[in-house]
Chains A and B, each alone.
Chain A
Amino acid sequence: MSKHSPRDRVTGTPFTRGLGVVILAGITLLIILAIFVSPADVNQGESVRIMYAHVPGAWLAYLAFVVTGISSVAYLWKRTRSLTWDRIAGASAEVGVLFMGISLVTGSLWGRITWGTYWTWDARLTTTAFLFVTYIGYLAVRGLGGTHQQRARRSAVLALLAVLEIPLVHFSVQLWNTLHQEASVAGRGTDVEMDGLMLFTLFLGVVVFTLMYVWLVLHRQRSLALDDMLDDSGLDNALTARRAEAQGVAR
C-alpha cells in the first residue's frame, strides 16, 4: 500500500506537462502538413511524405547517441563523475534506439515504394542496421549485474566505442557507391533545393522529434533514478535483515 498520494507517483513536473501539451499540438500540425498539405515531390511523388518522419527519426537517433557519448565522458571524467550522467546516457541510448528503429521501419516503407523492395544490403542501410544492433548491445550490457558504478563504467567505455560508428553511417553515402540518396539539406552543397512548405514541414518534424526526445529522456532518466533508489533501499534492507539474523544466531 502506498504512503503517498497518486499525484506523487510520477516523474513529471509542470515543465514536462507543458512540454507534453506542446508536443501533442506539434504532432497534430506535423501530420496535417506532412500528409495533407505539403506538395508531392517531382521525383519521389507522394512517398516524400514519409521523409517527414524518417529524416527527423534518423537525425534524433544520431543526436541521442552523441548525448550518450558526451554523458559517458562526463561520467568517466573524475571531476564530473555522477551516476546522473550514467542515467542520462542510458536514457538517451534507449530513446535513440527507438528513433533509429522508427527510421529503419519508415525507410523500409519508403524503399518499398521507391526501390520496389523493403530492404537491400546498401552501405547506408547496412551501417545503420549495424549501429542499431550496437546500441541494443549497449542496452543489454547496461542490464548486466553488478553495482551501479560497475554498470556506469563498463557502459561508458562501450558508449565511447559505439559513438565512433556515427560518422561511418553518416558518410557511408559518400564513401561507397550506394542506392541511398545523399543528404538533401545538410549535404556537401550549400544550397537547399526544396519547396518552402516541404522544408518547413521537415523543420517542424525535427523540432517535434527533438521535443519528444527531451520529454522521453527526462522521464526515463528519472525512472532510472527511482530504480537505482529502490535497488539501494533493497540492499540496505537485506543487509539489516542479515545482521539481525546473525545477531540472533550469536545469542
Chain B
Amino acid sequence: MDDAGFIFASYVITFGLVGAYALGVIRRARKSSREVPRDERPWL
C-alpha cells in the first residue's frame, strides 16, 4: 500500500485523540463525583 504511514497515522491520531479525551472526561468526572451525593445526580 502506498503512503501507508500517512494512512495509519491518520487513524492512530483520530482514535488516539478521541480515546485520550474520553479518558480525561471520565477521570475528571470521577474526581468531581466523589464530593457529590448520588441522589443529586439526575442521570442515576
Q: Could you tell me if B41 and A46 are in contact, using CB atoms closer than 8 angstroms?
A: no
Chain A residues in 8 Å Cβ range of B17: 98, 101-102
The yes or no answer to A8 lying at the interface (CB within 8 A) is yes
Q: Could you tell me if A11 and B29 are in contact, using CB atoms closer than 8 angstroms?
A: yes
The yes or no answer to A243 lying at the interface (CB within 8 A) is no
Chain B residues in 8 Å Cβ range of A27: 15
Q: Could you tell me if B43 and A222 are in contact, using CB atoms closer than 8 angstroms?
A: yes
From A106, which residue of chain B is reached at the shortest CB distance?
A: B10
The yes or no answer to A9 lying at the interface (CB within 8 A) is yes
Chain A residues in 8 Å Cβ range of B22: 215-216, 219
Chain A residues in 8 Å Cβ range of B34: 2, 4, 9
B31 CB to nearest A CB, Å: 8
Q: Could you list 21 examples of A-B contacts with CB < 8 Å?
A: A4-B37, A11-B26, A11-B43, A13-B44, A31-B11, A35-B11, A46-B2, A47-B7, A50-B6, A57-B14, A98-B17, A102-B13, A106-B14, A112-B6, A113-B3, A222-B29, A223-B28, A223-B29, A225-B41, A226-B36, A233-B36
From A5, which residue of chain B is reached at the shortest CB distance?
A: B38
Q: Could you tell me if A233 and B14 are in contact, using CB atoms closer than 8 angstroms?
A: no
Q: Could you tell me if A4 and B38 are in contact, using CB atoms closer than 8 angstroms?
A: yes
Q: Could you tell me if B35 and A102 are in contact, using CB atoms closer than 8 angstroms?
A: no
Q: Could you tell me if A8 and B7 are in contact, using CB atoms closer than 8 angstroms?
A: no
On chain A, the number of residues with a Cβ less than 8 Å from chain B's Cβ atoms is 43
The A209-241 residues at the B interface (CB cut-off 8 A) are 212, 215-216, 219-220, 222-223, 225-227, 229-230, 233
A109 CB to nearest B CB, Å: 5
Q: Could you tell me if A47 and B40 are in contact, using CB atoms closer than 8 angstroms?
A: no
Which residues of A pack against B, CB within 8 Å?
2-4, 8-11, 13, 27, 31, 34-35, 45-47, 49-50, 53-54, 57, 95, 98, 101-102, 105-106, 109-110, 112-113, 212, 215-216, 219-220, 222-223, 225-227, 229-230, 233
Complex Cα distance, B36 from A31, in Å, reads: 39
Taking A35-B7, A216-B22, A226-B41 as contacts, is the C-beta distance between A10 and B1 under 8 angstroms? no
Chain A residues in 8 Å Cβ range of B10: 50, 53-54, 105-106, 109-110
B34 CB to nearest A CB, Å: 5
Chain B residues in 8 Å Cβ range of A101: 17
Q: Could you tell me if A233 and B3 are in contact, using CB atoms closer than 8 angstroms?
A: no
Chain A residues in 8 Å Cβ range of B15: 27, 31
Q: Could you tell me if A220 and B25 are in contact, using CB atoms closer than 8 angstroms?
A: yes
* Per-position binary interface string of chain B over residues 12-23, scored 1 when its CB falls under 8 Å from any chain A CB and 0 otherwise: 011101100110
